Structure 1
Amino acid sequence: MFKSREKRQLASIQEVINNHSQGIYKRIDENRELMELLVRDGGPGFLERNSWVVSWLESQDAFLEALRKVAGLSVNKPGSPMEGYPRPRPYLAVDLSMQTEVSHAQDGVAPGVNIHTDEPKDDADEFARLKEKRKQLYAIEHACRESNGAIGGPRFNFAAVSGSTAFLAVLALLWSTRLPGWSVFLCSVTACISVFFLTYRHSTRPLEWDGLIDKLLAGYDPIDMESYRRLQTDIGENGYIDQWRVRDWVGAERTAIRIERHGVTVPYDFLRKIV
């Protein structure tokens, strides 16, 4: 009985995806047409003044694309009289003045819209890209953990480690010599202090952990853009970097990476149970 009910529900969902309001392909195409329309007719500065509109439209497109994928449908509608239907997803240009110059060189494209073509990616390159993102997320999370209980900032800690390494290196080099013990110890301490101050003075690492986290976040290209924008909004409203909020975002971004790599999955059996 449960299997029969589940089959009926799946068939109903598939019917909605294929045919409701002219189907998923029409929904995707009209959403992308709206993107082009806003850039073409929205007026200068519209997207800058209403940046959340970009987030809404891109999130809508991402949702519809994910729905198409889990339904097992191809990128373009089979047998469509229009080639490449639905149209490719445009990137909404926030800086319209710069984007307009680029778009004039593209034939048949609305001004201010840069067309993104869904070219197949090499699996090895894609794996390397996602692996690099995981490393970046680990660095961000590590900086958050360190900021929670560290004595000094990133530059101080790096200088302290460098000085300690210099102390041990000089101590090991002079240990087997005939120099007096106090002399060996004094040389090691001198090397430690010298390296510490030189490293602290010339290092490019930020003085505070907030500065390091900010630098790492600024250098990260997010997959879940909506979550990244919410993080920007929260930090902007708070006026400081909340490391716990950043760690929450790291968790959301890791989920986005997993979905990017393996697709949407339901990891728990009880979520599949229909009651």
Structure 2
Amino acid sequence: MNDATHGSAATPATPEAGACSIFGAFRRSQERRRKARLFDAVNTLALSRGDTGGLLKRIDENRELFELLEKECPEVIDRLWWVEGWIRSNDAFFVQLREILALANPHPERAYPREWAANRRPAGRARAA
């Protein structure tokens, strides 16, 4: 048996087999470039100060919203307990995305984004998570 009739990893059995190997490598290369472009787009959006304010601003405002609800309408948070869960879930998602993107605090002179309000809640106001 020789490699010309049975093919090997080094020598394709047919020209078409070699072409498939080349096209497969080309497709994988294209996919890597596509993923890199997507990551760059997400990173740009996360750092953006344009219309969205960026990811750190979203985290800070999400937490500010919860603080506002606790301060101005605590009865709503007590009665509709799941609203805190919704806001907390958004916070967890945003924080995990921040960790993946390794975003640094652009305001090192202060805690930014602000601390999650539930961490500062007085003992008497504790609610089940």
TM-score band by shorter chain is 0.5 to 0.7
Spell out, residue by residue over 1:64-109, the C-alpha distance to the aligned partner (whole angstroms, 9 max, x if none). Answer: 00110111123xx13x275111111111799x8923xxxxxxxxxx
Find the counterpart in structure 1 of residue 41 from structure 2.
12
Q: How many residue pairs end up in the alignment? A: 97
Spell out, residue by residue over 1:143-165, the C-alpha distance to the aligned partner (whole angstroms, 9 max, x if none). Answer: xxxxxxxxxxxxxxxxxxxxxxx
| Change in CA separation of 1:3 and 1:23 when aligned onto 2, cut-off 3 Å | same
Find the counterpart in structure 2 of residue 30 from structure 1.
61
Spell out, residue by residue over 1:133-186, the C-alpha distance to the aligned partner (whole angstroms, 9 max, x if none). Answer: xxxxxxxxxxxxxxxxxxxxxxxxxxxxxxxxxxxxxxxxxxxxxxxxxxxxxx
Q: 1:52 offset after TM fit, Å?
A: 0.9
TM-score normalised according to structure 2 size: 0.64
1:90 to 117, 120, 123: 117
Q: 1:4 offset after TM fit, Å?
A: 2.0
The amino acid of 2:62's aligned partner reads N
Q: 1:49 offset after TM fit, Å?
A: 1.0
Q: How far, CA to CA, are the matches of 2:64 and 2:91 in structure 1? A: 11
Q: Which runs of 4+ in 1 moved over 6 A?
A: none
Q: How far, CA to CA, are the matches of 2:123 and 2:31 in structure 1? A: 57
Q: How far, CA to CA, are the matches of 1:53 and 1:85 in structure 2? A: 23
| Change in CA separation of 1:82 and 1:26 when aligned onto 2, cut-off 3 Å | farther
Find the counterpart in structure 2 of residue 261 from structure 1.
none
Q: How far, CA to CA, are the matches of 1:2 and 1:30 in structure 2? A: 35
1:54 aligned to 2:84? Answer: yes
Contact 1:35 1:92 in 2 (8 A): no
Q: 1:50 offset after TM fit, Å?
A: 0.4
TM-score normalised according to structure 1 size: 0.32
Q: How far, CA to CA, are the matches of 1:93 and 1:24 in structure 2? A: 22
Spell out, residue by residue over 1:12-69, the C-alpha distance to the aligned partner (whole angstroms, 9 max, x if none). Answer: 11111111601111000001101110111014x2222101101101101101001101
The amino acid of 2:79's aligned partner reads R
Find the counterpart in structure 1 of residue 93 from structure 2.
63
Larger radius of gyration: 1
Q: How far, CA to CA, are the matches of 1:93 and 1:69 in structure 2? A: 22
SS at match of 2:96: helix
Find the counterpart in structure 2 of residue 41 from structure 1.
72
What are structure 1's unaligned runs of at least 5 residues? 100-111, 113-220, 226-275
| Change in CA separation of 1:67 and 1:97 when aligned onto 2, cut-off 3 Å | closer
Spell out, residue by residue over 1:105-133, the C-alpha distance to the aligned partner (whole angstroms, 9 max, x if none). Answer: xxxxxxx9xxxxxxxxxxxxxxxxxxxxx
| Change in CA separation of 1:93 and 1:42 when aligned onto 2, cut-off 3 Å | farther
